[in-house]
Amino acid sequence: MKGDVALALALVAVFVITTASRVQFPYVLDGLLYLSRPVATIVILGAVTALYFYKLQVSALVAGLFSIYLLKTLWTNWPKSDARRLHLEVARDQARFDPDNSIDLQFANGTAKHNLPVLLNKPFFPELLVFPPSAQTQREMNG
């Protein structure tokens, strides 16, 4: 029981520090949001359920209260926040310089090649039509 109370007090301290400093755990929430909001909800509530089944009822109660705050932040504030939008835009901008994501860098490095297209059905006339076509080419094609 003493371990349960100590864990509950630690969770209360984290909750108080979080609400007092208005920190929204950007890295934790962003990591959870990569899973999607429903999966993140399942993970958070699963952690509370695991605490309850391991006979840590006081810690589960405190974690349940903390999860309400996290889930409210996760479902309302954080997905629409400027910090998350800015973080995603910076990551998308920096991805241009990653050779795995940038087709321009792949062509420059020579890791990507472009093979010229090959016509499966060859045209019956040997040369391509040049515009404006000559009088002889127009007679051949139009009769």
- Which of 6-15, 49-58, 124-133 has the weakest average pLDDT? 124-133
The answer to whether residue 34 sits within a structural domain is yes
pLDDT of 24 > 60? The answer is no
Domain carrying residue 54? 2-80
The answer to whether residue 96 sits within a structural domain is no
Q: Which of 85, 66, 139 is nearest to 93 (CA)?
A: 85
The conformation of residue 1, written as its DSSP 8-state character, comes to -
How much is the average pLDDT of 94-101? Answer: 78
The answer to whether residue 97 sits within a structural domain is no
Residue 83 burial (CB count, 10 A): 12
Kindly provide the b/e burial profile for residues 60-71, where b requires at least 16 CB atoms within 10 angstroms of the residue's own CB.
Answer: bebbbebbeebe
61 neighbors 19 (Cβ within 8 angstroms): no
The answer to whether residue 134 sits within a structural domain is no
The answer to whether residue 63 sits within a structural domain is yes
Q: What does the pLDDT read at residue 25?
A: 61
How much is the average pLDDT of 66-79? Answer: 80
How much is the average pLDDT of 84-107? Answer: 80
Q: What does the pLDDT read at residue 126?
A: 61
The answer to whether residue 105 sits within a structural domain is no
* Mean per-residue pLDDT of the chain: 79
Which residues touch 97 (CB under 8 Å, ≥6 apart)? 105
Q: What does the pLDDT read at residue 46?
A: 92
Tell me how many domains the chain contains.
1
The answer to whether residue 124 sits within a structural domain is no
Higher local confidence (pLDDT), 6 or 34: 6
pLDDT of 140 > 60? The answer is yes
The H-or-E segment that residue 12 falls in is helix 2-21
